[in-house]
Amino acid sequence: TEDEKANIAERYLVPKQLKANGLKPEELKIGESAIRDIVRYYTRESGVRNLEREIAKICRKVVKEIALAGPKPVKKKVATITVTSKNLEKYQGVRRFDYGRAEAQNEIGLVTGLAWTEVGGDLLQIEVSLVPGKGGLTLTGQLGDVMKESASAAMSVVRSRAESLGIDTDFLQKQDVHLHVPDGATPKDGPSAGIAMATALVSTLTKNPVRANVAMTGEITLRGRVSAIGGLKEKLLAAIRGGITTVIIPEENRKDLADIPENVTKGMKIVPVRWIDEVLDLALERPPTPAGSGTGDKLPARGSGKAVRQPDVKH
Indicate which residues carry an active-site annotation.
Answer: 192, 235
CA distances from 199 to 17, 81, 113, 272, 277 (A): 49, 51, 10, 16, 10
**C-beta separation of 7 from 53 below 8 A:** no
Q: Beta strands 226-227 and 219-220: pairing type?
A: antiparallel
